[in-house]
Structure 1
């Protein structure tokens, strides 16, 4: 059998770069396929070189453009600071990279790096215009864009889709109400509290996580019933700075944000007048909290990604655990905790990168989370800040979603190819 090599490029050597590199060694085995981590870049060359040694990456490079020319990757993972997402995705599209894995959020308002100020409505309009040029470059290059929202790929969400497929056979399968949360005690990345690099705070960078499956499941519902993806049309939101206004005695276990929001709430109304509510915040003192719930016309499904009480541990002395991270962002292992073995898998990253590899191997396969997901996510997030500035009033985004950019068949998901997680009787 002739062996096929899939070449991987990685942009970014921080937290996302680390789990991305690790994930490729965890995807399901594929006969005759070798995955090579072929190139990496970072904001500093020495960081890229250290990363290359740590993860056995073939070469470190000085620039994204240089890496693309030298490596000619099959998959380009853009997992660097948010401000570089748009430029790197455009470069990858122009280079004709077969699969582009773009971390969340898709882009940031282009005015931030330029040092401009504008009201939230203007930021929304300019951000959507900018994202359109990025997606145009990806489309022109015949690249496949995988918008890397890992919540879409967790086994629980895959299980919900499996149930929706079965329920449709019984004339059921209406998703009525969805809710979710992503929270911890504040990112330690220096760029997070800098809008020109991060694009926003907890609403933009955390609430986006449960927003992903909420948008995806409505897309899936409409595809399964034959009417086409059901899109978001109105948004109400709050974006607040809580810790900044509290006394210093409240800051001990958190990173108080000075320039971005540390609490975000988004209510999304879809075109069929169903609802999703998601939260993102930096106020979780007990480590990361990733949860998602769905109420349908036939069932309620709760996904507790982290914490999850499948495992329980009691440590009288935390030092006994050494440097083991039992749960992401858990500040101390001492006492009773609920460890999350293989967090990289439970958070959806392995399924996500497996989709990217399958898309590189199969010409007729498109990512489950693709350009439509990136587009609708960005419209919701930017409209959320507009709503927050208007004391939570609903903002209409149908000009972008229902009546806006059109997506081809290979830019929307095929729920029948998401993969099964349940056994059958």
Structure 2
């Protein structure tokens, strides 16, 4: 694969990005699509549907970052993400999913869902264990948390389709959905899908009682910064997923699988591949330790290759092999669709005080 160029609505930023990498800055999405076979959509979630459909209509392969799509408001200038019925968001998100799936079905291209957790080495090792031992997953427990996103757009529902539940919760959730699919196709010849979800969401940093000490991002406009969801699958087994923007000490990414014949703890971040002790902050001033650690002084879970541990290079290699050679795809549009359906059903549940809500799945 050869990277040809980049498109951004901010042409100045696109030109600077392109110049630094020796590639082209295209003046429009259409001009870029005319000259490539594959497009990687790394823009805010509000743009995922139109960009994906535009590429699929031109028979391009689409690598779409997470989340796949969502509900981004009614377009009014005073839209506020925590002041509308969440059933509206669920209905709109599912309609968006349907449009993307219809575009893919009519295309010679394909949508590849860029959920790096699926390709993290520990998750793929658990896939191997499930396939070779034919284990039954009884309970999955997962979490993604840290002290807040760097993205300015992340503070607004209208750009990201929600808060931490979709922005961070999509990762452990999709990994859980994926592993139940693996179990199902191994033992039963078909994926095991989510059936019901219940949830609670909170906006801790927007409470008047929250005390800001300067370590946790707290400028969110209308989104949740803590969520917990409970999923029941078709076979009656369960998963619980936490997502939070109020955790210090770096990124906390992990998934625990409790099966009938084994137990696995996938420590994506932090992990003990490397531990360092640094007595003075300035010693490590030019050394990358680990994402969002806050300080480089003292003991740290220094990551020798953070991208590898989180599955990014493995994800891209797998996608390119699918595109070039037709190899089976582990993270596809149906997995993405089930994740979106579960997430927005969870928002409905949270609005209803945690009542269980059915999850629609896409075949």
Task: State the distance in 2 between where 1:151 and 1:271 align.
Answer: 23
Q: Which residue of 1 aligns with 2:214?
A: 252
Listed one character per residue, the Cα deviations across residues 211-264 of structure 1 (whole Å, up to 9, x for unaligned) are 111001111111112341111010001111011115564341011123111001
Residue number in structure 1 paired with 2:3: 37
Q: Find the counterpart in structure 2 of residue 186 from structure 1.
A: 148
Q: Is residue 251 of structure 2 the alignment partner of residue 285 of structure 1? A: no
1:147 paired to 2:113: yes
Structure 1 match to 2:26: 61
- CA–CA distance in structure 2, aligned partners of residues 82 and 62 of structure 1: 21
- How far apart, in 2, do the equivalents of 1:75 and 1:286 lie? 37
Provide the C-alpha distance between the structure 2 equivalents of 1:174 and 1:64, rounded to a whole number of angstroms.
45
Q: CA deviation at 1:55?
A: 3.2
Q: Distance in 2 between matches of 1:249 and 1:130?
A: 39
Q: 2:197 touches 2:230 (CA, 8 Å); kept in 1?
A: yes
- Report the equivalent of 2:15: 49
**Structure 2 Cα separation of the partners of residues 298 and 78 of structure 1:** 39
The correspondence for 1:161, drawn from 114, 127, 140, is 127
Cross-structure match for 1:102:
64
Q: TM-score, normalised by structure 2?
A: 0.95
How far does residue 118 in structure 1 lie from its aligned partner after superposition?
4.0
SS of aligned partner of 2:143: strand
What TM-score does the superposition give when structure 1 sets the normalisation length? Answer: 0.81
> Deviation at 1:141?
1.1
For the residue of structure 1 that corresponds to 2:257, the secondary structure is strand
Deviations 1:297-344 (A, max 9, x none): 100000111111221111121122124331111211111111012111
**Residue of structure 1 equivalent to 2:295:** 332
Select the residue among 269, 282, 290 that pairs with 1:306.
269
The match for 2:42 is 79
Partner Cα distance (1:111, 1:174) in 2: 40
Partner SS state of residue 238, structure 1:
strand
Q: Describe how 1:321-360 pairs up with structure 2 within 5 A.
A: 321-360=284-323
Structure 2 residue aligned with 1:203, among 143, 162, 165? 165
Secondary structure at the aligned position of 1:37 is classed as: coil
What secondary structure, in the 3-state scheme, does the structure 2 residue paired with 1:280 have? strand
Query: How many residue pairs were aligned?
Result: 358
Matched, 1:127 2:93: yes
Report what 1:317 is aligned to: 280
Q: SS in structure 2 opposite 1:196?
A: helix
- In the alignment, the residues of structure 2 paired with residue 334 and residue 224 of structure 1 have an alpha-carbon distance, to the nearest angstrom, of 46
Equivalent residues of 1:238, 1:388 under 8 A apart: yes
Per the alignment, in what secondary structure is the counterpart of residue 70 of structure 2? Answer: coil
> What residue ranges of structure 2 are gaps of 5+ in the alignment?
none
Change (3 A) 1:135 1:217: same
| Corresponding residue number in structure 2 for 1:272 | 235
The root-mean-square deviation of aligned C-alpha atoms, in Å, is 1.6
- Paired residue for 2:341, among 379, 382, 391? 379
Question: C-alpha deviations, 1:130-166, integer Å up to 9, x for none?
Answer: 2101121122112221111111101111111111111
Residue 226 of structure 1 pairs with residue 188 of structure 2? yes
Q: Secondary structure at the match of 1:234?
A: strand
Instruction: Say if 2:139 and 2:257, in contact at 8 Å, map to a contact too.
Output: yes
